[in-house]
Amino acid sequence: MSGKSELSSCRKGRLPSSSLVDDTYTIYGRLVDKDTMIYMLNSREGQDDALRVIPIVGAGGIGKTTLASMVFHEYKSSTRYFRLRNWLRGFENKSSNLNVFEVQGWACVSDDFGATCVIKSLLEYITGQESKVGSSLELVQHELMEKLRGKKFFIVLDDFRSDRLHYWDVLKTCFSVGALGSRVLITTRSKEVARIVTTTHDFIYELDELSLDESWFLFEDIVFQDRDLCKNRVLTDIGLDIICRYKGLPLTIKKIGLLLLSKGNDEVEWRKVLNNKTWEEARESS
Ligand SMILES: Nc1ncnc2c1ncn2[C@@H]1O[C@H](COP(=O)(O)OP(=O)(O)OP(=O)(O)O)[C@@H](O)[C@H]1O
Ligand SMILES: [Mg+2]
């Protein structure tokens, strides 16, 4: 594959959305980000408490979906724990202070299938079953509202693209029927989307790039995994140069790392990757 075509897939860089984190490699950093997100989701002050919409905004491949997924699953496991604890105690205490969401749902908004499909995939996530309500927008909207009515919910809308902004009115209507404390987390590359969907500008979360150290650890994990390459001083030095130049975006680091992995110990090939300016272009356009 040529450098250019490797990069065009990087530039497009849209991976299929799933609430599950890709756990092939360790997730580096993001603990502070995760804690801040949890604070934003838990805190109860402010006029937007009834329904708070929190956008995570950042460049393509910076790790928005990964962060949303980490947070989403944190709540899933605390809800499971809460239910188990209450079951063991033989009662259901719905007024507990523990922030537990009665309903959690995840849907991707970048797919080209319309708002009806987004709502259907939310319904399917929530019920665990294929939605049988047909393809009328009104019917699926009604069905989702019935599932959310009076419940404290936590919904993630992943990869909300600016050309899908017209879905927002439809989705917002569905979200208006929940209980106090309901939350919607939206990942987006677009500041415009973030500005329009948010309920409070204080709660727009701009995700930073990985630090140099975090970038290096991820790179090392991919490139030097199971190999003796780290004993090769020259390759380690080229690797360090690469990371100094292309640090920050985990997707780019992964792409470069996997490319180097395929080049074995060939120093010439490693240098070509180091000097390939198209990685820079990919970063700039993401
Ligand atoms: N902190 C991290 N440590 C290691 N790998 C990470 C980290 N964050 C993200 N990744 C990996 O980088 C890739 C891109 O991450 P992710 O899909 O979350 O980016 P994104 O910001 O949602 O991109 P897009 O705008 O294209 O949706 C994924 O393979 C993910 O597993
Ligand atoms: Mg994403």
Residue 226 is predicted with a pLDDT of 62
Best of 10, 11, 15 to mutate for ligand 1, by most ligand atoms within 8 A of CB?
15
Residue 201 is predicted with a pLDDT of 81
Which protein residue's CA is at the shortest distance from atom 29 of ligand 1? Answer: 251
Task: Encode pLDDT of 159-213 as tens digits.
Answer: 999 999 999 999 999 999 999 999 999 999 999 999 999 988 888 999 999 999 9
Which protein residue's CA is at the shortest distance from atom 4 of ligand 1? Answer: 27
Distances (CA, A) of 272 to 61, 256, 266: 23, 11, 10
Taking the CA of residue 66 as reference, the ligand 1 atom at the shortest distance is 18
What are the structural domain ranges in the chain? 30-84+99-206, 212-276
Q: What is the pTM of this model?
A: 0.87
Class of domain 30-84+99-206: alpha beta
